[in-house]
Amino acid sequence: MYRKLAKVIVQMTKWRVIIICMRFFKRFFVSRSHPAPSAVESLLPRRFACSLALALLCLPAAAPAAELKTQNVFLIISDGLRWQEVFNGAEEPLLNKESGGVQDPDAIRQAYWRATPESRRAALMPFIWTEIAARGQILGNQAKGSVVSVTNGKKFSYPGYNEILTGSGDPRVDSNDKKLNPNPNVFEWLNHSAKLKGRVAVFGTWDVFPYIFNIERSRLPIWPGWEPRFAQWEITPPPCLAELRRDTPPMWKDLTWDSFLFYAARDYVKRSQPSLLFVGFGETDEWAHAGRYDQYLDAAHRVDEFVRRLWETVQSIPQYRGKTTFILTADHGRGSGLEEWKDHGEEVAGAEGDWMAVIGPDTPALGERAQIQPVTESQVAATIAALFGQDYHAAVPHSGAPIAEVISAQAPPRRN
C-alpha cells in the first residue's frame, strides 16, 4: 500500500512541475505586455513547454526505499558488561588479588593481557573484534567520540531492560523486585503483527525476566520459566539439559548458568526457528558484583564465544542465512577505578555508559565508530522494529527513534 501511495505522490509531483512550467512560459513568453508575436514565434514557447512536459512524464518514478533484507533479529545482552573492557580489554590495575580478586594473576594475564588496547580487546572478545568489526558496527568507545548510554537514571538492571525493550525509562520501574512490568514491550508489540505472530521467544538467565516481559500479559514463550505461574509459557529444553540444570548446584539462587542458556537457546533456534529472539546472559554482572575480575573477564569471553557459535548456527540455516541481524549490548554500565568497577546504580558515576554492536545484512560495515551522534538504549526497541519494516516510534511516540547509523536505508555518510 505504501509503495503505491509513494508512486502516486511522485506522479502528482511531476504534473505539478509541468503546470508550473506552463505557467512560467505563459507569463514570460506569451505575456500580454509584449508585442503580438508572429505565428511562428508564438509556437516556439508552447512547443518547448510541451517537449518539457513530455520529458518529465517519461522520467522514471523515484525508486522506493531499498527493501530491507533482515527477516530475523536476535537481541543479545550481557548484563553489566562495561564498555571499557569491550573497547580496551583487560585493565591492568585489576589483574591482581587485591583490587580484582584474581586467584591466578599469571594465568589471567597470559589469557587477556596484551601491550595495546586493540590486542587486549581482541584477546577478550575475538568474535566482536574480527567478525563484527569487519562486517558490522561497534558503538560506545567514549574515548573516540562515540557515546552509548542508558537514560532511565537508575543505572541498574530492571530499569535498564525496561528502557531497552519498551523504548523509554519509567519512574515506576525503580527496583529489581519481581513486579509485572506495566509497560508493553517491542517483542510483544511485534508478536501481534501477522508476520511475526508466534515467532517471538525469550531466553534469560535471571529469574526476573518473566516479570520484565510480563509473560502473563505478553504470553511470550520463555526459558526458564522459574515459577509455576509462568509454566504454561515455558519452553521445553532438551531432556539432557533439563536434567543437567536440575542436578547442577546453582551458584546464585536467582540466576542460571550462561552456558545452560546458550544451549537451550541454540536448540530452540534449530527446532523452532524464531524470527525475533531475546538472549540475556547474566554472569558478567554477578562476577563483577562479587569482585572477581578474573571470572568477569572469563564470562565476557564466553559470551563472545556463545555469540560466535550462535551466529555460525544461524548462517547454516537457510531461513536465517543472510537475513539475520544481531544486536549486542548491556543493560547498564559500571563505575571505574579500583572499587567502583564492581558497582552500578544512581550514585555510581559513569554507570550510564554503555556499548552496542550490530551485524546484519542492513547494517553498513563501518566497524568501530568514532565521532558520531550519541546513541541511547531507548532507541533499541524502535531499531528492532525498523529492521522488520515497522514503525514502533510512531506507535509509541515517547520511545526513542531508530538508530539511523546502523540501518543502511537511514545511515548517514561515514565520518570516521
pLDDT tens-digit series, residues 244-293: 999 999 999 999 999 999 999 999 999 999 999 999 999 999 999 999 99
**Domain contains 415:** no
> Do 38 and 144 have their domain in common?
no
Q: How many domains does the chain have?
A: 2
- Which triple of cell numbers denotes residue 254? 536467582
C-alpha cell at 92: 591492568
Q: Are residues 211 and 292 in the same domain?
A: yes
Q: Give the per-residue pLDDT at 409.
A: 64
Residues 38 and 125 in one domain: no
Report DSSP state, residue 131.
I
- Please tell me the predicted confidence (pLDDT) of residue 67: 86
Q: Which of 190, 127, 162, 189 is nearest to 359 (CA)?
A: 127
Q: What would the pLDDT profile of 226-235 be if each residue is shown by its tens digit?
A: 999 999 999 9
pLDDT computed for residue 17 by the predictor: 40
Interval 109-166: pLDDT, tens: 999 999 999 999 999 999 999 999 999 999 999 999 999 999 999 999 999 999 999 9
pLDDT at 66: 66
Q: What is the pLDDT of residue 54?
A: 41
Residue 20 has pLDDT above 50, yes or no: no
Model-level pTM?
A: 0.84
Shared-domain flag, residues 190 and 237: yes
In a domain, residue 64? The reply is no
Residues 280 and 362 both lie in one domain: yes
Q: Does any domain span residue 296?
A: yes
Q: How buried is residue 384: exposed, middle or buried, by Cβ count under 10 Å (0-12/13-18/19+)?
A: buried
Please tell me whether residues 343 and 258 are part of one structural domain. Answer: yes
Cβ partners under 8 Å of residue 261, min gap 6: 203, 204, 205, 223, 279, 280, 281
**Alpha carbon distance 319, 295 (integer Å):** 36
Identify the pLDDT of residue 408.
85
140 and 210 part of one domain: yes
221 has pLDDT over 80: yes
What would the pLDDT profile of 352-398 be if each residue is shown by its tens digit? 999 999 999 999 999 999 999 999 999 999 999 999 999 999 999 99
Is 330 within the bounds of a domain?
A: yes
Kindly tell me the burial class for residue 413, based on how many C-beta atoms sit within 10 Å of its own C-beta (0-12, 13-18, 19 or more): exposed
pLDDT at residue 403 is higher than 60: yes
Where would I find the H helices in 101-156?
A: 105-112, 117-124, 126-127, 133-135
335-351, pLDDT tens digit by residue? 999 999 999 999 999 99
In a domain, 280, yes or no: yes
CATH number at residue 147: 3.40.720.10
pLDDT score of 197 more than 50: yes
Each residue of 102-121: b (16+ CB within 10 Å) or e? beeeeebbeebbeeeeeebb
- b/e per residue 252-269 (b: at least 16 CB within 10 A): eeebbbbbbbbbbbbbbb
Task: Point out which residues pair with 234 in neighbouring strands.
Answer: 222
pLDDT tens, position by position, 327-339: 999 999 999 999 9
What is the span of the domain harbouring residue 49? Answer: 2-58
Same domain, 186 and 326: yes
Query: Per mean pLDDT, which range of 31-40, 216-225, 291-300 is the poorest?
Result: 31-40
Q: Which of the residue ranges 30-44, 56-70, 333-347 would you say has the lowest mean pLDDT?
A: 30-44
Of the ranges 5-19, 146-160, 209-223, 246-260, which one carries the lowest mean pLDDT score? Answer: 5-19
161-170 confidence digits (pLDDT tens): 999 999 999 9
Do 19 and 126 reside in the same domain of the chain?
Answer: no
Report whether pLDDT(314) > 70. yes
Residues 159 and 247 in one domain: yes
Q: Minimal CA–CA distance to 141: which of 363, 366, 410?
A: 366
C-alpha angle 346/186/260, rounded to 5°?
A: 75
Predicted confidence at residue 410, as pLDDT, reads: 60
Domain boundary among 36, 58, 80: 58
Q: Does residue 234 lie in a domain region?
A: yes
Same domain, 347 and 274: yes
Inside any domain, residue 286: yes
The grid coordinates listed for 9 are 505522490
What pLDDT score was predicted for residue 161?
98
> Does the pLDDT at position 74 exceed 90?
yes
Residue 63 has pLDDT above 60, yes or no: no
- Same domain? For 31 and 159 the reply is no
Q: Residue 212 CB: number of other CB atoms within 10 A?
A: 29
Domain membership flag for residue 63: no
Q: What is the mean pLDDT of residues 184-206?
A: 97
In Å, how far from its chain's centre is CA 49?
A: 51
